[in-house]
Structure 1
Amino acid sequence: MNFIWLFLIITSFIFAAVNGKMPDVVNAMLKASQSAVLIAFSLIGIMTFWLGIVNIAKVSGLMEIFSKLTAPFMRLIFKDVKNNSGAFSNITLNFSANALGLTNAATPFGIKAMQDLQNENNNKSVATNAMCTLLAMNTAGFQLVPASVLAILTASGAKNPTEIILPTLIVTSITFICAIIISKILERVF
């Protein structure tokens, strides 16, 4: 991949030099660098805000409450996981954090859930149905609040960054439902 990027950059410089467009290339590079720095600084502030919200959600118990609300739904999906197991608790926390757009908080719960599921696995060389379903669920990426995308849109100067919430909810709901359905169909086949 690095070779491809290097080839594109060198080819661009050669064509710019041959066509007398080097000043335009230099100006574009400087503008792009300036834009990148401005966006990065904007993102720092916005991401700091959202990470603060994540910590408040963790400390206040909001994620635990949301996790308890989603537990009945998760029991339908993960029937072969014991309700009182650490794996089930981590699965619900992982789903809750992802749904709230707190992907940085969701990752440790997802990893811990996989480890717990592997510990309960009788055949360590083959993933369990629950492990496959958890992977499909995380890949589908259901989100009620797409915090990272909102931060990027705000940093980029979007006039109404929140207008993506409803389309994101619809699309992530569809992908989540499809992922679970396909996972359950494949459970029966394999």
Structure 2
Amino acid sequence: MNRSDGVSVRIAPWSADDLPVIERSNTPEMTVFIGGPESPEKVIERHAKFLRLWESGEARMFTIRVDGLGEAVGSVGYWTTTWHDTPVYESGWSVATAYQGHGYGAGGLSACLAYAAEQGDRDTVVAFPRVDNAASNALCRTVGFELSGAEDFEYPPGTPIRVNAWRFDLRRLRDSRAGRSDHASPLRE
């Protein structure tokens, strides 16, 4: 995705070399809305889980890459789940503190949604940021999610929180891309 300032934001499939992306996001300020930092062991488990779920097809996790920057600025992905008795994808993301405020999250999430529309077998992506997470709620709005309302949720499991339930209709992307013959894959190496 090219932004108006000429910076290209893209996603790349999660790889064995991407553990540092999770480590950079495992800080108190980055995890305040999701239960706080994880132990080093849990971070390693999460990294292995991202790799395992990609292999099984249950999830697609990506790093967010920006031309001219040597390291990934964050992560984004989606995984299979059920919401209100309907099979959907759930999405989540993280942009390291040093890279926030530049539109990289919107670029990465947009590319992730395009990938899900192109490669996935479900019509809806949902996201559940806490109601007090202004940045993630604004990101959902910016990228084109529709607010379904507030719901009770648990995250981490066993910890009740109140979230905004956002939904994105992947059929819109499929329909818009079907009419264009020049569409390129959202995934670039």
TM-score norm. by structure 1 comes to 0.29
TM-score norm. by structure 2 comes to 0.30
Q: When you count strand as a share of all residues, which structure comes out higher?
A: 2
Q: When you count helix as a share of all residues, which structure comes out higher?
A: 1
Structure label with greater radius of gyration: 1
The structure with higher relative contact order (CA 8 Å, sep 6+) is 2
